[in-house]
Amino acid sequence: MPDPTTVKAALAAQAIETPSWAFGNSGTRFKVFAQPGVPRTPEEKIADAAVVHRLTGVAPSVALHVPWDAVEDYAKLNLFAQDAGVRIGAINTNVFQDDDYKLGSVTNADPRIRRKATDHLLEAVSIMDATGSRDLKLWFADGLNYPGQDDLRDRQERLSAALHETYDRLGANQRMLLEYKLFEPAFYATDVPDWGTSFAHCVELGPKAFVCIDTGHHAPGTNIEFIVAFLLRQGKLGAFDFNSRFYADDDLMAGAADPFQLFRIMYEIVRGEALEPSYGINFMLDQCHNIEAKIPAIIRSVMNIQEATAKALLVDRGALRDAQQSGDVLSANGVLMDAYNTDVRPLLRELREESGRDPDPLAAYHRSGYQAQIESDRAHGQQAGWNA
């Protein structure tokens, strides 16, 4: 059985990155239900992220999304974050909300639009320079709604060109994370639809390019932990966008839809010795809290990932290996399930108390008065949202 001290040390060192946009309003194509107290500025989003980190102790950085989080002075934003107790994490680009991008951004048939989109990617690297951010996260909404609409293969050439130009702009300590997604907003073909496509481009690009796994971006039945294990073997797993889903890219709280799957994913991370921040994987959240309170939902998501990680760390790897080697299917499965069936909440409460935190971050948040404060402070002005 794993040593409790080791388990706790690993959990204490864990780092989960929160997404600035998840603190703002979001919704479906049918309706965005606005919530009171939602941030109006990048600074307010960072402030909210800092609260999550203060309460959980494992959310030390916050990802930005440009132009949603565009500011005049990024160095200043950086200092603001530091003062608030968090770091600026990945820079997420947005080449899907400008009218020009109706038929694609970097894969568009129109060279003018490709140029514009690529320039945005290059600008994001400049923001990385200014903020010290390590990771450039690329997600492209590019794709087709109808067969024949554009040439599938030409679009790969255009994609490759834009990726290369951007990659070449990266500094020595900067990385590119290439996300894939099966569908939405494109409904027939997506230009980076699966991990294989992202992987092939990353290999072509070089050692600073990595695949980013969004747990909600797969076809039904896809075994995500297999992809995790495979990419770890190839040295090409760079990041996660955690969230959960029952159907499509539902963007529910991580661990809410299939906690057993989240555990299996975290087990592959632990088994691959890839949990420590020094390994380099960026464990991000990417979620939409359409109907539930936003800051509590993010706290809950962080806790769900912690619990899955704790269970993964508790797997008796020696016993597991023995059962696997002997071909004892039921025992091997049993070893894994023993860890999964363990109630790790007491261990995590203990861990929080040992670091001077409230054992129950959600209760602490509700007691803190923060929610009432922001609902009052942020009553006026334009609240942040996807289309803000």
The distance of closest approach from Cβ of residue 368 to a second copy in the complex, given in angstroms and rounded to an integer, is 16
Comparing CB distances to a second copy, the nearer of 132 and 385 is: 385
Q: Which is nearer to a second copy, 174 or 383 (CB)?
A: 383
Q: Which is nearer to a second copy, 74 or 370 (CB)?
A: 370
- Minimal distance in Å, beta carbon 130 to a second copy? 27
Tell me how far apart the alpha carbons of residues 196 and 186 are, in angstroms, rounded to a whole number: 18
The smaller minimum CB distance to a second copy, of residues 87 and 352, is found at: 352
Secondary structure (DSSP) of 59-109? --EEEEETTTT--S-HHHHHHHHHHHT-EEEEEEP--SSSGGGGG-STT-S
Q: Phi and psi for 100 in degrees, rounded to 5?
A: -60, -25
Report in angstroms how near the CB of residue 227 gets to a second copy at its nearest.
8
Contacts of 271 (CB under 8 A, 6+ apart): 229, 317
Least distance from a second copy to the Cβ atom of residue 228, Å: 9
Question: Residues with Cβ < 8 Å from 305, sequence gap 6 or more?
Answer: 16, 242, 254, 255, 262, 266, 283
Task: Give the CB-side neighbour count of residue 130, counting CA atoms within 13 A.
Answer: 17
DSSP run (H or E) holding 53: helix 42-56
Nearer Cβ to a second copy (41/342)? 342
The encoded tokens of residue 206 equal: 């070089």
Residue whose CB is less far from a second copy, 33 or 83: 33
Extended beta strands in 98-198, E state: 135-138, 143-144, 175-179, 189-190
